[in-house]
Amino acid sequence: MNFLKGEKHMGKAKKVVLAYSGGVDTSVCIPYLKKEYGVEHVIAFAADLGQGDELDEIKKKAISAGASQSIIGNLVKPFIEDFAFPAIRSNALYQGRYPLSTALARPLIAKKLVEIAKELNADGVAHGCTGKGNDQVRFDVTIGALAPDLQLLTPAREWGMSREETIAYGEKYGIVPPVSKKNPYSIDLNLLGRSIEAGPLEDPFEMPLDEVFGITSSIADSPNEPEIVDILFENGYPVAIDGELMEPVSLIKKANSLAGKHGFGRLDIIEDRVVGIKSREIYETPGLLLLIKAHQEIESLTLPADLLDTKSRLERQWADLVYKGFWFSPLKEALDGFINYSQKQVNGTVRVRLFKGNADVIGRKSKENSLYISDMSTYGSEDKFNHKSAEGFIYVWGLPSRIWSWINK
């Protein structure tokens, strides 16, 4: 079997596609790959995930750092449709809290890296992830699953330089570090949200300053009047807000704007990384959290209890798989099949009140698929429930407990 031939020790890659962000590590990777690895052509690939960066500047920066070619790929539409929307249907929250805003982007970027490598006849791919983070796992596992024949180069995991040494190395090649004493944070941004770490946030007892946040209002600055929004779901997909049908990208933008304006979607958590390290993470994911919360509510109205119970357990497993890099795996695909089937009757509208950092569900309805039957639930004169039938049900239901008591008294 030759499935391990993509390991870096099996030969020297001459043409490599690099996952490029424009930051210090990925910028330094370009001259480092050429000088230390003997790579002749570094092709920098930067993904447009709706982060709003000046991507033309990133493209120029890659060339100035020594890249033979710099490619910008607009991945916004597949990011939302093929990754974010399945996460909403799965109510995906890692450890019950983090909505995978960053993790969802990595398998998509890795998939595109592989596609570009094949299109340009490159013999390797590379990334600038360090050995402490989650992204290295997501890139490595995804690339290995999709193209085990490609060589994988991971210079930032191997060069052994400190942050200061990395910056100094880059400065020799004209690479100016974007992080300064005035901005000590490491920030990852895409259309689903922002993740912020490093700097003062490395002390888990230190309260994050307002300067950390960029897409959500503080409680003090949020509107003094609540706002009511209606979110329509069809087959588990959010399709409209306040009666306006929208395609997925526009809907996410609208949800971000509404929830962010009212200060909803901020998370300050201690998170367990794949490599076994606990980290302090700050997230802003206003739209994604709002849509997941609303989706959970419409499911409560349209799915039976046993399906809800089973799905809630599988949802956590789904989120774990995605967080740990197994988007392209047999188990993930099998879980997708279960989730897709479960969403056929998840249709209806959820009403949410946004106010001062909260998103409170205040109503839900489903014309065709509601399992809430008023004639059964009411205590009024129209009550259709046969109360006498409860006695026999309870007798049988409690029979194991009574038998246990008789035998062991």
Contact 249, 178 (CB under 8 A): no
Cβ neighbours of 164 (radius 10 Å): 9
| CA dist list (Å): 17 to 50, 59, 171 | 22, 14, 22
Options 21, 25, 90, 217, the catalytic residue: 25
- Residue 25 a catalytic site member: yes
Q: Residue 270 is encoded by which pair of tokens?
A: 């201690």
Q: Is 106 a catalytic residue?
A: yes
Tokens describing residue 282: 């700050």
Q: How far from 300 is each of 305, 312, 350, 373, CA to CA, in Å? A: 8, 11, 11, 13
| List 27, 70, 90, 135, catalytic entry | 135
CB 369 within 8 A of CB 244: no
Contact criterion met (CB below 8 Å) for 343 and 296: no
CA distance 133 to 188: 13
Measured CA angle at 288 (ends 139, 316), to 5 deg? 65
Q: Residue 29 CA to chain centroid, in angstroms?
A: 26
Is 135 designated active site?
A: yes
Q: Which of 70, 89, 101, 106 is catalytic?
A: 106
Q: Which residue in the list 186, 300, 329, 370 is annotated as catalytic?
A: 186
CB atoms within 10 A of CB 360: 12
- Find the angle CA(331)-CA(337)-CA(342) to the nearest 5 degrees: 130
Catalytic residues: 25, 106, 135, 186
